[in-house]
Structure 1
Amino acid sequence: MLARAIQEILRTSPVGSQSVISVVSPKHLTARALPDACLSSIGMSTGGFKNHVAATEAFIKAANKRKTELIIFDECQHMLERGSSTTVRAAADFFKLFDGKLEASIVLAGLPSLNQLFQENEQLADRVRRPFQFYPYDWQGPDYTHFRAALATALQYLANNGWRTFDLKDAEFAKRMYIACAGRFGLIVKLFREVEVCSTNGEALYPEFAKAYEAAVIGRLIDFNPFDRRITVQTEHMALVYTKVMSEAGVKV
């Protein structure tokens, strides 16, 4: 849903504008860390401003000048991992500086622990929309059907570009891909891109996906390569990786 909104913004953007700005939230939260991260994201120097207020005002002017429509702050849970209640409140106050001045919408993205940011500052909570939570595809039920559809779309892309690859309805490959990515579409894309890089024969079959997995994925969720045909995969493996990735995110299953 968010990806489609970004694509539409970019499609209709005037030439010379910067419709979408992506800011990676700083791991060490200080009064200057957030505005400096904003300035760096658009290539501006951070050294010419005497304090965080001046730096924030400069970023607002620059974003408005670029006709920015959307600013995405990613990995926002970093604001809470090492910060005290004082620095967390300072982060909330930073976002309140945008109110009435910034002409763009803001998305704060991160793990579920990000909700604490709004719990620490009731004024900020009153200004935002209710959080929307994105989960990995489940390993069973309707969610898994949607996962299969997303995977089929990726396979169709390869087929349309002349690759020899799996049938769109290959259930065995779907299970192995689910174990490899734990239901996260971003990792499907990552693996397919790696296959395009490492394949030399125009094929995207088990040997190519096994090689891509070894190169691109740190297999912390499962202790084998899911694309190794010598290993028989089980439904229990699918449930295991889903449970582990949800636990890492701090979400109860």
Structure 2
Amino acid sequence: MYDLTSIMILRSFKMIKMNKKTYYSSIKKLNSGVIYHDEFRLVFEQIKEAYNMKQEIGIPTHIICTGESGTGKSTLKRQIEKEFPPYLIKDRKIIPILVVDTPAIPTIKSLSEAVLIELNDPLFKSGSAMEKTQRILLYLKQFNVNLIIFDELQHFINQGKEKGLSKASDWLKMIIDHSNASIVLMGLTRSEYLLTINEQLHRRFSSRIALPPFSINNMKSIKIFSTVLSVIEKNIDFPYSFTVKKSSNISAFYYATNGIISYIIKLYEGAIEYAFKNKLETIDRLCFEYAFTYKIWNLGVNEFNPFHPKFNNQRLDRPNMPFYKVR
């Protein structure tokens, strides 16, 4: 876990020869660390508060949390689970938080079975839809579940069949009402469409939070982005000659990742890999140029590579580019 309030004490750089040990150590740190930047911390604390409102005074709070793919929703979900892990009281199991991945084709049957699986019901396929739902409500009370996270919410709208969608969303509304637990609906940005076609869900989820990509639109956003990159650099066991300490390099990192944390990790992984395979003494600009082409966009060469001298500071979000989004 990396906290932005303490990044200045992480480590000082030394000329360390990249070997297999430092290579794998750096890759592991990249993929296991969690950076509590401002937006992440805000969302994390709001979901914690939804849990605490139910736990402490019995009032459930419902939140919809959205964000583009790769912005940290899965990491957020894992950190919330770690914050409130299951435990035993005598011979009774308590599950403070239940996380359910919405099935690819959400129906009452598939949704109820997904919930029962997470509740460790060995007979999750048995019974009618009503019987499964009754078992779910019984388990939620028995295990004292205070908060339920339904992830991959976009699956509700991916099928384009509003009749089936309406039935599934009505079932979800019933679980929300009868479980008396705080509920977090989590998914891609387009997931909010579900609330526009179900007025009753819309009223229940007036609290909406987002995990947006980083940006470089103003001095505050630049500072947040550069600090996140600095945290990553300072937790890799290898020195840099091309670093965000030089402010002119920040835009290259932004255009290469579109401010999305999963692409940032891929970029650093690729740069470390190139330095290791080529026995370099530092991670330099060419390492990141290689990483962008081989880890993010295979057509990203020359003027289409943010780390190439000919790059002209353009967003790579047009058709056939890596960050193009179909509207």
TM-score (norm 1): 0.72
Q: Which amino acid aligns with 1:183?
A: G
1:1-253 → structure 2 map (5 Å cutoff): 1-4=42-45, 5=48, 7=79, 10-11=82-83, 13=85, 15=87, 17-41=94-118, 44-45=121-122, 47-142=124-219, 145-160=220-235, 162-165=237-240, 166-192=242-268, 200=276, 204-214=283-293, 216-217=295-296, 219=297, 223-224=300-301, 229-235=307-313, 237-238=314-315, 240-241=316-317, 248=325, 250=327
Q: 1:245 offset after TM fit, Å?
A: 7.9
Measured at CA, do residues 167 and 108 of structure 1 come closer, stay the same or move farther in structure 2, by a change above 3 Å?
same
- Residues 255 and 306 in structure 2, CA contact (< 8 A), matched pair in contact too: no
What SS does structure 1 have at the residue aligned with 2:99?
strand
In the TM superposition, what is the alpha-carbon distance from 1:175 to its structure 2 partner? 1.8
In the alignment, the residues of structure 2 paired with residue 43 and residue 134 of structure 1 have an alpha-carbon distance, to the nearest angstrom, of: 30
Separation (CA, whole Å) in 2 of partners of 1:21 and 1:180: 36
Unaligned runs of 5+ in 1: none
Say how many residue pairs are matched.
Answer: 244
Equivalent position amino acid for 2:218 in 1: G
- CA deviation after TM superposition for structure 1 residue 130, in Å: 4.2
Q: CA deviation at 1:52?
A: 2.7
Q: Per-residue deviation at 1:160? A: 4.5
Q: How far apart are 1:182 and its partner, in Å?
A: 1.0
Distance in 2 between the 1:198 and 1:22 partners? 38
Question: For residues 141 and 269 of structure 2, what CA distance do their matches in structure 1 show?
Answer: 35
**CA deviation vs aligned residue, 1:196-237 (integer Å, no higher than 9, x gap):** 6776468544454445445543x38x74387674443222x2
- CA distance 1:223–1:194, change in 2 (3 Å): closer
Distance 2:173 2:139 in 1: 18
Q: CA deviation at 1:11?
A: 3.3
SS at 1:97's partner residue?
helix
Deviations 1:74-111 (A, max 9, x none): 33222112142211111221222223442532222233
Instruction: Report if the CA contact (8 A) 2:258-2:323 is conserved.
Output: no
Q: How far apart, in 1, do the equivalents of 2:305 and 2:263 lie?
A: 14
The CA deviation string for residues 59-86 of structure 1, in whole angstroms up to 9 with x for no partner, is 4444454444433323322211214221
Q: Distance in 1 between matches of 2:86 and 2:325?
A: 41
Structure showing greater relative contact order (alpha-carbon pairs closer than 8 Å, 6 or more residues apart): 2
**Hey, what does 2:51 align to over in structure 1?**
none
Letter in 1 for 2:176: D
* TM-score of the superposed pair, with normalisation by structure 2: 0.59
Question: 1:129 Cα shift?
Answer: 1.7
Shift of 1:18: 4.4
Tell me if the contact between 2:43 and 2:210 (Cα under 8 Å) persists in the aligned partners. Answer: no
- Please give the secondary structure, in 2, of the residue aligned with 1:109: strand
1:34 counterpart SS class: helix
Equivalent position SS for 2:175: coil
> Does the 8 A contact of 2:84 with 2:96 survive in 1?
no
